[in-house]
Structure 1
Amino acid sequence: MSQQHHFELKVPGGKLVVADITTDAGEITAAKISGDFFLEPDEAFFEIAAALEGASTSEDAAALQTRIDAALRPFGERLALHGFTTADIATVARRAITGATDFSDLDWEVIHSPVLPTPVNVALDDLLLRQVADGQRGPTMRIWEWEDRAAVIGSYQSYDNELEPAGVEEHDVTVVRRVSGGGAMFMEGGNCITYSLYAPESLVAGLTYEQSYAYLDRWVLAALKKHGVNAWYVPINDITSDGGKIGGAAQKRRGRAVLHHVTMSYDIDAEMMTQVLRIGRVKIADKGIRSAKKRVDPLRSQTGATRAEIIDTLLETFRDRYGAATVELSDADLAQARELVDTKFGTEEWTHRVP
């Protein structure tokens, strides 16, 4: 039985690309590509849809792009694409086939958490991800608040390799292991900005893992631009700018849901950070310790804005773009998160699961 698929992609800094795809028995039987882009010569336009027809629905975006590029190659130097690329066409086609949703297709809620201990914030990520996966909660964006000093390490990092015991003790640092991979984050209360997205997996369907990071944080880059920060993604998961690295992202996928969270430095104490975290030799082999302390450039120095002002901009940007409603964590949510701290995130077994 044939199925109809539709997806629209606004290329960052470019034009709108729309794919209407018909599939049957695991094959693309008809394709229509449209949008407000510019393309020359005119006859090249019709070769794009023809190139997609006959492709297997299991082909990824790279394979679809190869088909499109081959179809357009005969046009040689006469070919000009403005406001989009063949990679964009392949991505929107793949997103259509996989039943992807865009941010604007979902009914979002935003939470600005009360001040909570870092272990509770980490536990909430696990809890809210599970709630979205189980259909108990809709898509949600949450901004953290905390006042303790913590080191949040990735799910697969070695405790001993990532932390300086003397620094952890001297600076009274709480060490928490999160559910996502990635690197360690030094998080002082009031000196970082951290947010989490909890969404159905359809939001990243058809995207590579690397593409999903940049896609999920487009709204953040737009918000930072309002404060004069020209920010972009450095694959896989770093956010940087003209002034230097701002922060990093991590993800965890569970069931039919995805957790994507980001910590950005607002006014980090780089000296203390290097006393608490062991900066991997491989990471800094060509830079040296002195440069390592400057790897993260705080938003305070880049914007001159207060942390609260930047958070307000993040909330405003998200609400304006996606029509999100503001909600609060329930007493039941907080109780379940604290229970998770007692049974998992605050335990030696979990914290030292990779010694």
Structure 2
Amino acid sequence: MHGEYKVPGGKLVVVDVDVEGEGEDAALANVVVSGDFFLEPAEAILEIRGALDGLPAATSVGALTMAVTNAMGADAVMVGFSAESVAIAVRRALGHATSWGDHKFDVIHDEPREPNLQMALDEVLSQGVAAGTRPPTLRIWEWERNAVVIGSFQSVRNEIDLEGAAKHDVTVVRRVSGGGAMFIQPGNTITYSISVPSSLVEGLTFEQSYAFLDDWVLGALREVGIEATYVPLNDIASPSGKIAGAAQKRYAAGAVLHHVTMAYDIDANAMLEVLRIGREKMSDKGTKSANKRVDPLRSQTGMTREAIIDAFLAHFASRYATVQSAVTDAELVEAERLTEEKFGTPEWLALVP
């Protein structure tokens, strides 16, 4: 069996392994670990292999990581990879996880839709991926109106100045994922969602999965001239400051929803009148002014929003197998039902008053 794991910002780890025995007696055998990483002393690779040979095939990522760590010793130096990345590659080899190359992605550049319907579509598409009725999907959003999207656990009254929202004709909605509030203006943000099977992030912590699912867009940003980096837990930044925030929802049915909003040309004054940004949060971000918290893509690239989106889609297609797609009529009907029964209701918005 063969498994690969590309460490975000690091190197490729490859594991080839046999499984001997069946059921509870199944064990790893003939393990070979390879890749373009660096390891000193070189002989430590043999210690890694020896630590994995004979372990039960059902061994968890955590236990595999501990076995590799204990075998390496304190003097070994791993560059571009880690004991945990070896463990993840083992799990991928055993078929407990999938890789980007195992999937063909539907790509949707959607039409403008009202905010609550956007929230519902994210849920419908992700549940479709979990059920196997839809392939993994990348969806670029278009917004029909101004909006603030708050995290599933945020308080409306703590986050939103309702008078400011009314003044700027902003619709406030609540999404299914955690994280912070996102200020949206049509044409001034780039928002996308990736809905994937849980197998793609199997064995990854939440923090690792954020970096893993954001890796492609970091490459796309670099192609348009932005030296973007992942900032734990859920931000994407450049040397000039934060440019995007991500949020994630893991569905028990077997899918992960990962969505990102990037600032293209945000009206910071309007944002300040709508969002209540606490001093503690500002201090945590290391900034003195909310106007400087989000650095627009427009100022760093000089490109139109449409050109940036085209570049993103081209980069995604250069890395993974894709097919152009659209929201189906059935999915739209289901999203409209969810909007009426859940996302568009006062009860959902006031889930945390």
TM-score, normalised with respect to structure 1? 0.90
Structure 2 residue aligned with 1:134: 131
CA distance in 2: counterparts of 1:108 and 1:206, whole angstroms = 21
Map 1:161-310; keep pairs closer than 5 Å. 161-254=158-251, 255-285=253-283, 290-310=288-308
Quote the offset at 1:300 in angstroms: 0.9
186 and 57 in structure 1: CA distance in 2 versus 1, 3 angstrom threshold: farther
Q: For the structure 1 residues 55 and 161, does the alpha-carbon distance in structure 2 shift closer, same or farther, using more than 3 Å as the test?
A: farther
Please list the CA deviations of residues 250-303 of structure 1 after superposition, one character each: whole Å capped at 9, or x if unmatched.
111111111110001111111111111111332124679842331111111111
Asked if the contact 2:210/2:234 (under 8 Å) is kept, the reply is yes
What is the match of residue 32 of structure 1?
A: 32
Match of 2:147 among 150, 164, 170: 150
The one of 3, 7, 15 equivalent to 1:7 is 3
Matched to 2:227, the amino acid is: N
- What is the distance in 2 between the residues matched to 1:308 and 1:342? 31
Alignment check: 8 A CA contact 1:119 1:346 kept = yes
1:227-255 per-residue CA deviation (whole Å, 9 max, x = no partner) reads 11111111111111111101111111111
Deviation, 1:306, is 0.8
Superposed displacement of residue 149, structure 1: 0.4
3-state SS in 2 of match to 1:246: strand
**Preserved CA contact (<8 Å) 2:287 2:293:** no
Q: Cα gap change, 1:259/1:28 in structure 2, threshold over 3 Å: closer, same or farther?
A: same
Q: Distance in 2 between matches of 1:153 and 1:26?
A: 49
Aligned AA for 1:220? V
Unaligned runs of 5+ in 1: none
**Deviation for aligned residue 1:214:** 0.6
The code of the aligned residue for 1:9 comes to Y
In 1, Cα distance between the equivalents of 2:340 and 2:237?
36
Match of 2:87 in 1: 90
8 Å contact from structure 1 (residues 108, 323) kept in 2 = yes
CA contact (8 A) 1:153 1:185 kept: yes
1:317 counterpart residue number: 315
For residues 95 and 168 of structure 1, the distance between their equivalents in structure 2, rounded to whole angstroms, comes to 47
Distance 1:235 1:289, change over 3 A: closer
Q: How many residue pairs get matched?
A: 348
Q: Deviations over 1:169-216 (max 9, x none)?
A: 111110111111111111111111000011110010011111000101
Candidates 19, 23, 26, aligned match of 2:15 = 19
Give the Cα–Cα distance (whole angstroms) in 2 for the partners of residues 279 and 26 of structure 1.
56
The alpha-carbon distance between structure 1 residues 53 and 304, as it changes in their structure 2 partners (threshold 3 A), is same
Cα RMSD for the two superposed structures: 2.3
Distance 1:57 1:159, change over 3 A: farther
State whether residues 243 and 294 of structure 2, in contact with CA within 8 Å, keep that contact through their aligned partners in structure 1. Answer: yes
Q: Distance in 1 between matches of 2:290 and 2:166?
A: 22
What is the CA distance between 1:40 and its match in structure 2? 4.5
Cα separation, partners in 2 of 1:243 and 1:285, compared to 1, 3 Å: closer
Superimposed CA distance per residue, residues 297-330 of structure 1 (whole angstroms, 9 cap, x where no aligned partner): 1111111111101100111111121120001222
- Which residue of the partner structure matches residue 345 of structure 2? 347
- SS in structure 1 of the partner of residue 104 of structure 2: coil
Q: Give the deviation of 1:166 after TM superposition.
A: 1.2
Q: More deviation in 20-29 or 254-263?
A: 20-29
Distance across 2 between alignment mates of 1:153 and 1:84: 35
Instruction: Report the AA paired with residue 352 of structure 1.
Output: A
Structure 2 gap segments, 5+ residues each: none
Identity %: 54
SS of the aligned residue for 1:161 comes to helix
- 2:107 is aligned to 110
Q: Is the 8 A contact 2:3 2:14 kept in 1?
A: yes
Counterpart-to-counterpart distance in 1, 2:113 and 2:51: 54
Measure, in 2, the Cα distance between the counterparts of 1:166 and 1:10: 47
Aligned residue type for 2:312: L
| 2-structure distance, mates of 1:323, 1:222 | 16
1: CA distance, partners of 2:126 / 2:339: 16
The SS at the match of 1:206 is: coil
Q: Which amino acid aligns with 1:51?
A: A
Secondary structure at the aligned position of 1:145 is classed as: strand
